A and B are shown apart, each in its own frame.
Chain A
Amino acid sequence: MEQKTRAYEKIWLVLIMAFFYLPIIYVVFFSFNSSKSLSTFTGFSLQWYEKMFANRTIMESIWYTVSCAVIATVVSTIVGTITAIGLSKSRKTLREAVNQINNLPMLNPDIVTAIGFMLLFTSLRIKTGFTTMVLAHIAFCIPYVILSIMPKLRTLDPNLAEAALDLGCTPFQALWKVIIPQIMPGIISGALIAFSMSFDDFVISLFTTGPGINNISIYVYANVKRVNPTINALSAIIVYVITIVLIIVNVVPMIRERRKKKDEQLQNS
């Protein structure tokens, strides 16, 4: 569809981008404010960052968020990968049935999934806390992992597994040495989705966590009533971390590509 864009069309795109980035820039900007105000900038200071790092609850919430996300990512990636490989070999009816169940948490509003977990845990007399939150995160992450691996398995050359067996691999070796490396991009993107879903989650965490166990989102939600610029600092730090991570994720492959090309040129000359 590549066509010429007109000036007003470019202006429109700029406006949309401004809309998307304005609040982020605003939060970062006011995280350096010297006063408590969220509307007038009175001078530069790092006091809110200091206060944030000194705040035990905030530090704890960061710790809970990260550790929950790491556990949920590792478990859901492993379980999701095994299940996806199993599903690719099972009967169509079974595959359809599992897909239908997996669709539930993806299509249901978060709040419905969340109260479902809450009712389940309390009915089973499980005390809500960090464990229940992690369990819930694992449960809603696995379907996304499966969803990102299945297409890779579907487009896999069916002869690859046979070729491995043909060359003397046991079925397990074929899986480990050939299938897993082939679907690695799917596994990695599944893990990334799981991590960001868990890291960003608010609704499900709110309903499945117990007293005293907050993640970042719950902390922000609970403290948003009072004017509290430490939240600006916290938000700003999240923005920094994500920006750095995304730059690395997007730039590293570019550098690697360039190096590879250089290597090939050297080899050829």
Chain B
Amino acid sequence: MKKIVESLFIFVLFIFGIMMPSEAVDTAQNQIINDMYIQNKVSDIGLKLLNANKIDVRMIFVYESKNSKINLEPGLTKRQIIAYEKSLQFAANDDEIAAFLAREICKTAESYSGVWKGMVASVQVKCAPKKFEIFFDKRAVDFMVNAGFNPLGLITYINKSYPQKRYDKFARTNLTSKRLANIYEYIYTKYPIYLKNNEYIQNEAYQNFLLTSAANRKKLYDKVKSGSKKAVDYE
């Protein structure tokens, strides 16, 4: 009996003393390899967006896994675009990663313009995000198209990752449905080829956008049919 207990004890020691650390090492290595892979992908897409759009100001792209502390707006202060795991988990393809990065690039590029080396512009973007939100969305569409990405990826990314508030009259941000409708109109106006040869029509997030945006799409339809140039008041 004593021998059996001793053997069991040695076996348990073997499991916890030898196997676990090696597994832990493997997990850590896999984590590092995984992080390196995502970091390279984020940097490649980000730099492609900068180069294709001839953006001649410096900014870097950093991937942060979920354990890292969230730092607010480092794009505006350090010109460092941080792609948190929490943000990237909504991106299902390169178009959607590009969508996230293109929006951040617009914001960061704004921090270079104006007096005091862009400090005032940065404060404006930080204090009045609602004013710039749709502006950056539309600019992101241009950036994506120039770099060879499908701008409908911006619609699917936002549709998956931004919640829908009740009102936006006194809010700091616009209703997500309003943002999506503006992006959709912008793509229709400037890059209709992506809607004519729609590669996202089978995409679940895009289908959900179509399902939830019928009223706004009708407004756009009426605007185009009437030949009006006035901005549509989307809901």
Query: Do A and B truly interact?
Result: no
Binding site for A on B (CB under 8 A): none
Which A residues are closer than 8 A to B by beta carbons?
Answer: none
